[in-house]
Structures are given as structure tokens and as C-alpha cells.
Amino acid sequence: MRRRIAAQLLAFSMALAVALAAGPAPAAAGAPSDTSGSPGSRLYTPEANPGAYRQVVGLLRDGRYADASGVLAMVRTPQAVWFGDQTPAEVERRARAVVRDAARERAVPVIALYNVPGRDCSNYSGGGASTTAEYRAWVDAVARGIGRHDAMVVLEPDSLALLPADCGQDDEQGTKTSARYTEVNHAVVALERLARTKVYLDTGHPGWHSVNSIVPRLIRGGVGEATGFFTNASNYRTEEDSHWYGTLISSCIGHVEDGGAVADCPDQFWPRADAEAWIADNVTTPVSRMKHFVTDTSRNGLGPWSAPAGKYTDAQEWCNPPGRGLGDRPTTATGDPLYDARLWIKIPGESDGLCLRGTAGPQDPERGMVDPAAGAWFPEQALELVRLAQSPLPRR
């Protein structure tokens, strides 16, 4: 039996590897999981990074069947489709292919847009559109591609948590930061007006901005016109912390929309009981009108990494930290009316970039190797995530 299963996995993986080597299919190959049991709530599984299939084939050839099955199960779990850097014509074509493929599977795709000018403050994942006009045209092309199909859009990770003004890339007049808000607002309007698209704005994560800091950015970014916001994208904060952060942000937005002051809102550093009492006494907005949220649980199974004290001048805790595990599996069944879904936004197994942690490099001193470039497949990290997963992955 074991040999037969191994042979089937090897044949399947090698066929996929050959197909991927020939180039991407015109539409992503879906293998969605029924995450909640209710119609229309299944989340879509896109075509995986080709490096994942090459890793699976290599593991099978080495007789490491459990590891191969685990990596294969990971990449066949619903996760986001990322768009960025394509031309308008190309992104329109790709978006249309994804939403149509998802519709055939009766699943909802999660689309992460990552093309805002000056993204990531020109760091590891720098790039994006050159101008506001170029970005508007690109977003409009995405909207045409989605059309009347179902989609959940994670709009520009780091776009609001990491403004040009935050990293010294703006002028005294705040020209680039003002443009960032213009760009995000345009995207919200262009995408949220689609019949079956939900748009979520960036909040960073609960270890970054306080509630009082991020809520004004969300409001200026157009969250009033959006379905809501997302948190913990590509980060490692626990499910409990992310859920609570989302609850506090939604409550604060409701309070402000009712005429309250953002400075009065409790943040994630308040005692939990005090914050809950404040919400009960001050938030009068009906749940049906409050902003919803989603979280990224792709790599937060063991929470954030803490670097050894005093070891690094810049530990880069967010960058390929060692010993992390997959978090909760994606689902729209969260048990909270404000909490739309736990998602795998960041593709688990893809590198965060070259992590030097304040050293001269070129190796990551925590791993003793040169980390792959941002977005490239990282076999060693993929195995860590699978082996240390919070919940065992179903073997495929």
C-alpha cells in the first residue's frame, strides 16, 4: 500500500512539474477545500509555485514520503493569488482566468493586489506602478477582469501601515503620502462597486501600529467604502492577537463614524477586560454596519519569533524567522459576524527575501545559508512550516 501511494504521488507530482516547466496554464488549477459547509463560502486554491512541485518530486525520489505529502497538502490548501508588476492587459487577463476558474469550482478566490507606487518603501519587495495614473489604469484592468464574479480582494499589503512618510521617502509637503491615499481610495471605489467583490484594507499587524494609529489611516484610505480590512499579512502574530486587534479596530471605526474621537478608543495594549467594557459602553453601531475583517494565518501557528537577546543589531523578526509553523487552515466559518475569514494571504513556503539581520552577509546568520529572493520558493522553510503546523495537514 505504501509503495502504491508513493508511486501515485510521484507520478502526480512529476506530471505537474513537467506541465509547470512548460509555462503557466491559462487558468489556475483549482483544488478548493470546503471550509465552512455553506454555499459560496469555499475558498479557492490556485496553481502553486513551481518550486513546490520540484521539492515534492525530490522528496519522493529520496523516499521522504511524509514530507512530500505534507508539502503537497500545504500547497493544495486555499491561499491567495498575488498580482503585481503585470501590464494592465496582462493583469486583466489573469484576473479573469482566476475568477472564472474559481467559479467553475464554486469557490471564492482571494486576490492580493501588490502594485502601488513605492510599495514596501522600495525594500525587499520594492517595485509597483510608476505613477498614480499608471496605478489607476492597472486597478481598473483588475476590476474589468473580475467583473461580476466572486472575489475577496486584499488591497495592497503595507500600503497604509508603511506610508512613504514612514520611511523618509516623502517631501516636506507629503506629496507621495497624499498620492498613496488617492491611489488606495481609487482602488476601493473601483473594486468595491463590483457586484460580488469585497475589498479589505491594510492594517499591518498588532505588533506594529496601535489602534489609535492605524484607524485614522484606514479612514483616510477609504475604509468607509470598503467591506473592511485585513491584518497580519505575511506576518506571524497569533490568531488570538490578530482576532482581538481586528475587533478593536472595527469597534473604533464604528465609534468614530458615530462622532466619537479616535483618541478615546482602546488599543491592543489595554487590559482586555477594560477594553471590552469600553466597547460595551461606547460602540452603538449595529453589527450589520460595522467594518469586517480577515486575518492571515498562513505562518502564525507558533506565533512570532523572538531573536536571541543582543545577538543582532537588526534581528528582522519578520524575515524568514526559523522554527515557525503553519497556522489555522483557511475558513470562512469563524464564529464571529465581524470576522469574515481566516486566510492564507502570504504563500507559505515562499521566501521573505535576503535576511542579513544587521550583519554583512551574504548568509542569513540564523539559518547559515543565503535565503532565496523575496517570492522565491524556500524548501527549508516549507518543511519547517509543514512539520511544525499547528493542526496536522490532511494528506492528499
Active site residue 120: yes
Residue type, 284: T
Q: Evaluate whether 203 touches 291 at the Cβ level (below 8 Å).
A: no
Of 67, 328, 352, 364, catalytic = 352
Active site residue 352: yes
Active site residue 158: yes
Q: Which of 217, 225, 214, 215 is nearest to 187 (CA)?
A: 225
CA distance 140 to 135: 8
Of 158, 202, 340, 364, catalytic = 158
Of 67, 120, 267, 371, catalytic = 120
DSSP-derived pairing of the beta strands 151-155 and 197-202: parallel
CA distance 250 to 229: 9
CA distance 60 to 67: 8
- Which sequence positions are flagged as catalytic? 120, 158, 352
